[in-house]
Amino acid sequence: MRIKQTLRFFSIALLIVLFTSLTIGCQPADSDDRQNEIRIGYQKFGILSILKARGTLEKRLKSRGIKVKWIQFPAGPQLLEALNVGSIDIGETGNTPPIFAQAANAPLVYFAAGTPRPEAEAIIVPKDSPIRGIRDLKGKKVALNKGSNVHYLLVRALEKAGLTYSDIQPVYLAPADARAAFAEKNVDAWVIWDPYYADAETSLQTRTLTDAHGYTSNRSYYLAAKNYAAQHGDVIGIIVDELKNSADSFNRNPDQTARLLAKQIGMDLKPVNLAIQRAEYGIEPINQSIIDDQQQIANTFLRIGLIPKSIQVRDVVWREQKS
């Protein structure tokens, strides 16, 4: 018991360090010499990637004298670390990273949500693995990106199978490192999201234990630095509008979107096409149901000691100020 308490203490301490240690000496996102630029953090897959590839946001903001700077991140936790220290103004992550970030006092606000995509993340094992179900993960090494959307999928799947998080050996790796460990069978399972999930399916011998159906909605969330949203509500509105347009284009032209995105992110067309074909995309306002979903994640992580304090998701939802 003492060992578990010690490990929990260090886990919480590491979480706090990740989101606070780099803040010293960082330049605020809204300094006077940055009013004509917006910095957007994006990942390899998602509506922001499509928006970048389409170039329509740049056209909308050019008339306002605002330039768009795009910065790619391997996963949501790293993206929100950058938002916390003032390196970006806007970003997109899965459902879990904002929970960790809010618990570490990152100055963020939610301003939009994606539609549910439970089929776009999964727990996978090698095709010849003796692991046949979630209960068989007991005592096994499971790779995941700590604090990413799949973290909650893993916790929920384990609990529904009658296991606890301490029943497995989590191995915290970014997607590229996790893929290598999985391919070499240095881990027993991998919890991963698209397009990395689709890439594993098409290029490795894998078997899916479960996707997120029945466990979590797996929404994307669009977040802004709190100060940026407070001062640039009109720009946030334009971004939401362009996100909706990009989602509509995504769904109407899946083949074209796959080619466009594969070229942009440097991934083969086959996995990108698979990832695009298995889910529809959309943008929704943050409503009470969405807040409740996020609050459930926060409550679960507090209960098992993954975040250091209780948080209220409703406290960091952006409300557009009407003139």
pLDDT digits (tens, 9 = 90+) for 28-55: 444 444 679 999 999 988 899 889 988 9
Range of the domain at 109: 2-115+219-316
Q: Does 196 map to a domain? A: yes
Percent of all residues in the chain with a pLDDT value above 90, rounded to a whole number: 74
Angle between helices 254-265 and 47-54 (to 10 degrees): 90
Domain stop point among 154, 185, 211: 211
231 sits in which H/E element: helix 226-231
| pTM, 2 dp | 0.84
Q: Does 322 map to a domain? A: no
The CA-to-CA distance between both ends of the chain, in Å, stands at 56
Residues 54 and 178 in one domain: no
Domain stop point among 185, 211, 237: 211
Residues 239 and 287 in one domain: yes
φ, ψ of residue 70 in degrees (nearest 5): -100, 135
Q: Does 323 map to a domain? A: no
Q: What pLDDT, on a 0 to 100 scale, did the predictor assign at position 34?
A: 60
Who has greater pLDDT, 243 or 262? Answer: 243
Domain stop point among 191, 211, 231: 211
Residue range 193-209: mean pLDDT, rounded: 95
Amino acid present at 97: P
SS3 62: helix
Q: What pLDDT, on a 0 to 100 scale, did the predictor assign at position 321?
A: 55
CATH number where 311 lies: 3.40.190.10
SS3 122: strand
